[in-house]
Amino acid sequence: MLLVQKKYYNLTLCVVAIILLNGCSAYFHQPTRQKGARLGEDTRITPGLRTMPGPSEKLVAAVYKFRDQTGQYKPSESGINYSTAVTQGATNILLKALEESGWFVAIERENVSNLLNERKIIRSSMAQYKPDNENLPPLLFAGIILEGGIVSYDANIITGGAGLKYFGAGASTQYRQDRVTVYLRAVATKTGKILKTVYTSKTILSQSVDASLFRFVRFKRLMETETGFTINEPSQMAVTEAIEKSVQSLIVEGVRDKLWLADAKKSNEVAAWLKEYEAEQSDAQVTDLYGAKDEIERYRYSVMASGSLLRYTGDYGPSVNRTGLGLAFNLGLSKYWQLQFNAASGSLAAKNYFSRDVSTAELNLQYRALPTQKLSPYIQIGGGWLSSRTNSAFEFSGRKNSMVNGGVGLEYALSRRVGLNITGQYNYFIDDNFDLVSRGTVNDAYWRASLGLSFYLGGTFRKVVKSKSL
């Protein structure tokens, strides 16, 4: 017993160490003293924004107001919080992104009244001290106006965590993910036409890790220790990254649609740049809110060959593991629902007094949770019968027992034609005479764990077209 406790205690300590090392950057750079001012950090988009191919001619752009349109306050568990969820200085961030890109000549419009007042003061001073009355150069006018704003801040789109504690030692982690969304559009000043609209989003991660140890090391000697850290991604950095991405996307889509021209000397670089953006756009179209991708469309008909590990649970014991083989045919009723016929062969046995070679035939209804993703979990329920066998692998002439079953599994699509399956299934007999002994209140049963390869033969699902109402 002490050896078992020691084994699990060491396992718990290993888990604690892994969780702490996973966030080692934050853990080993804890602020223990004051730090001086520093230049602002770059986001992951900033280097790409700076190295974009240049324009044939810079665009004169005006930004009047790029603001928070969410009207949302920070979520609070303790009561009302009047701090806004996102920065109110998004105009400054956008102007900085325009400068970093090298594609725009940004002109002052947010506080243009201050600029005009200052020019009046200059004219007054010049009229007083310079009789020749020099004229100020005219203000630049914008070819395009950039409009939009921060349109959404969604808090707690994903929350979760995990933990493990044993014998006084344990660790836990919790996380929360928020999301900010930005829209940006370019408007032609001569016609008022909206030339291009783009939108981007960025998730904001908050994560905490805690570890503790509480144990009597010897009589009247108690050791207790705690450690941990919390990481909150700054919302301002998330907004900056989303705005920089929107500026980058606006430039690329404008070049693609010939709204403005890139430097003709870098045509090869521009072509590769556009191709990379199109691949990113195609990838975005098959990616959902949580980052999962609809990467594959499975065929309707498939066969699966599998190897199994069987474990009997009944009136004899102790149970032993035996191997088996299986062959299944799947008929897709829809993308989510499958009808499966499964024939299997193996043996069920206890260590002493009981062993039986069997063949099984089952009809299962299977539900796939994520049918268009490479990794698709599924659950299944069904029923069938089990028959004793003596000669061939799939023999159904022996004594039969009826059963019901339920199971869970995962399929990883290696391609559209081939999938790798892992399934765990519990089979419960309708009566208690499978092993010819009837004792207790629970019928005989067995577990089956299977590893198989699915081969998709063909067939597609009909696409439902919704009729448009007039």
Per-residue pLDDT of the chain in tens (470 residues, 90 and over written 9):
444 445 445 555 555 555 555 555 555 666 777 888 888 888 999 999 998 898 999 999 999 988 888 887 777 666 666 778 888 889 999 999 999 999 999 998 888 888 889 888 888 887 777 666 667 888 888 999 999 999 999 888 889 998 888 888 888 999 999 999 999 999 999 999 999 999 999 999 999 988 888 888 788 788 888 888 888 889 899 999 999 999 999 999 999 999 999 888 888 888 999 999 999 888 888 787 777 777 888 899 999 999 999 999 988 878 899 999 999 999 999 999 999 999 999 999 998 888 889 999 999 999 999 888 889 999 999 999 999 887 776 677 778 899 999 999 999 999 889 999 999 999 999 988 888 888 878 889 999 999 999 999 988 877 654 444 43
The residue written with tokens 């001290």 in the block is 129
**Which residues make Cβ contacts (< 8 Å) with residue 8, sequence separation at least 6?**
166, 167
Closest CA relative to residue 210, chosen from 355, 447, 463, 20: 20
> What's the angle, vertex CA 117, arms to CA 116 and CA 121, rounded to 5?
115
pTM of the shown model: 0.75
C-beta of residue 368 within 8 angstroms of C-beta of residue 335: yes
Residue 267 identity (one-letter amino acid): S
C-beta of residue 188 within 8 angstroms of C-beta of residue 173: no
Strand, helix or coil at 193? coil
| Distance in angstroms between the alpha carbons of the first and the last residue of the chain | 75
- Rg (alpha carbons) of the chain, rounded to whole number: 33
> Can you read off the two tokens belonging to residue 46?
């900033």
The residue written with tokens 């905490």 in the block is 208
- DSSP letter assigned to residue 329: E
**Which residues make Cβ contacts (< 8 Å) with residue 119, sequence separation at least 6?**
136
CATH number 2.60.40.420 given to 301-458 = no
Closest CA relative to residue 151, chosen from 54, 57, 104, 85: 85
Q: What is the topology classification, in CATH, of domain 2-25+43-75+83-265?
A: Rossmann fold (3.40.50)
**Which residues make Cβ contacts (< 8 Å) with residue 375, sequence separation at least 6?**
410, 411, 412, 413
> What's the angle, vertex CA 288, arms to CA 173 and CA 366, rounded to 5?
85
Distance CA 343, CA 197 (A): 56
Domain with CATH 2.40.160.20 in the chain: 301-458
Distances from the Cα of 225 to the Cα of 23, 170, 176, 231, 361, angstroms: 19, 11, 26, 21, 56
> What's the angle, vertex CA 364, arms to CA 362 and CA 365, rounded to 5?
170
